[in-house]
Structure formats: C-alpha cells, structure tokens
Amino acid sequence: MGAIGVFDSGVGGLSVLREIRRELPGESLLYVADSAHAPYGDKPAAFVIERSHALADFLIQQGATSLVVACNTATAVAIDALRATHTVPIIGVEPAVKPAVEQTRAGVVGVLTTSRTAMSARFSKLLVRYGGATRIAVQPCPGWVELVERGDLDGREVEGRVREYVQPLLDQGADVLVLGCTHYSF
C-alpha cells in the first residue's frame, strides 16, 4: 500500500500533516516543505503551478498513491492543473469560509490570506458559493509566512504584524476570522 504525499510551500503544512496523523494513525505519510521557495503567496501563478507539479511528481516517485496539497495558495492556483495531469486522488485545502459564515452573528467574516490566494478565481468562487448575505472582508497578510518560516512566532514584531492585519477586520465588525493559510495557525 502506498503513502499519502503531503506538500506545502514551507512548514505551514505541518499543521495539516498533524491532523492527518491524528485521523489516520496507521497511514504512511511523506511530507515536503518547500521552504527554499516560500512563500508562494506573493509569487506568480505560473511559478506556483510549476512548483506544485514538481512536488507532486517527486512525491509520486517516492511512492505516494494520493496527495494532499496542504497549501491554500497552491490549492487555489494549481490544484486543477494537478488533477488534470495526475491520476492519483488529490485533496486540497481552502479557507474555511463556509463554517465561518455559519458561525457569524454579526454578518461579517474576516479572511486572512495570502495575496495570491486572494486574487485567485477559485477563492472568488468560494466566496460566492458560501458567502450568501454575509459580508466577507479579505485581508492579505504579506510577511506572515516569512515570520513563521524564520520561527518568529511571538514578540513585538509578530504582535505588530498581527495587529496590522487583524485590527482592520475587527474595525469592520468581523466577529469570525478565517486563517486562510496553513502557516497562519503557527
């Protein structure tokens, strides 16, 4: 039996890998953190597609019989191209807009995401599909992935960067925030 191959633009996908391990403790897992090319969120779509193909090909060569794209940006930009060229099942991650819309009481949801995800057609379709009457405020967060990749998870700089992007969403009345990048949970 083959392994589940998991990849992300860096260490953010470890949050997804942890949940896969918790849910499927007997499965073999392969993980690639493409930290050398992180972050994907500010790169051209063609670059994200090329890297996603390279990582998918590598994981399949290593014995993966299914793939998890543990990166919101790679899912938004590249998952359709991956599915068109690979025969293994491919699962992606997307910002949790649907449950956020179900939970809001104020009717305003804030989504913290990468610039590339925010610009993607797939993300726009997600907002239309699940947004309904809810106002969804989208906030790209340049610099957050780099902080996580460097291991800077607390302190003044981190608090300032978080406040810089979260406060405008709170000021708009958001009572539910979505972390639209696997790095952001760190």
| Known active-site residue 141 | no
Q: Which amino acid is at 132?
A: G
Pick the catalytic residue from 32, 181, 183, 184. Answer: 181
Describe the crossing of helices 72-85 and 121-131 by its angle, rounded to 10 degrees.
110
Q: Which amino acid is at 82?
A: L
Q: For residue 107, which of 179, 180, 176, 166 has the smallest C-alpha distance?
A: 176
| Residue 112 · residue 139 · CB < 8 Å | yes
Pick the catalytic residue from 71, 78, 97, 148. Answer: 71
Q: Annotated active-site positions, please?
A: 71, 181
